Structure 1
């Protein structure tokens, strides 16, 4: 069971990880600054396995990978939103951070207890005793995420060949 951290629409990469930290390349160090401009308590309070829930266009803005890297390093299990910026989506899958598109994301409140079944594309809201379908990742993207990202997935494919 995970805690849901709720965010709104158009959360851009500068909100996720402020630009002044782009000189940092260590994901764990980046994670210490997640959302500090809008939720200063987030970095210290988020726990391994928690999820982020958002509205539309999550991850808009720049194409840098720092934002999904910091989210993954903080131990976030998945990000669930009504929609994602395309480059953020791609960067997230490439580093092994699962994203799920959920039309009912707004029904999940901040602090709700949820269980996410990434492979089936189901979010169970334990707090409200409701379930919400998501658009599950296609099997090959799920395999990339399970492998820990595109680089690890590619290494496995080379070894198999």
Structure 2
């Protein structure tokens, strides 16, 4: 049944019937809930259909499952896989940074937050950029003074 649903979903993807493909993928998820590739397809399709809230719920649900099974690295790889396809989803970068932090990978969390702060600033969302840089400073990076200088520049730009 699982393979047949997969074939039907692929046919619908080729026909660009994303909603029907999503239905098949969701049926597959009920048969194999721990398949990260399948979960990634579901998330990406939800984003493509403009269903961002549903996509983020799917991401959070699967992260919770993986972390519950103590598969922290698998959770990180899951989010990184989605970001590979959808690099402009800012909230996914935040979730990845949170995963790194919870997994005691502080330098990776800082790097992800740094990239996120830059994306916010480029988009003109200085308030979000400021909050993100403040979050980096709370992680006490070795180059904290540089981040404090960036924070001051952002505050001047937003004011």
Q: Is the TM-score greater than 0.5?
A: no
State which structure, 1 or 2, has the greater radius of gyration over its C-alpha atoms: 2
Instruction: Say which structure is richer in strand.
Output: 1
Instruction: Say which structure is richer in helix.
Output: 2
Compute the TM-score of the two structures, normalised by the length of structure 2.
0.32
Compute the TM-score of the two structures, normalised by the length of structure 1.
0.32
Structure number with the bigger relative contact order (C-alpha 8 A, sep ≥ 6) is 1
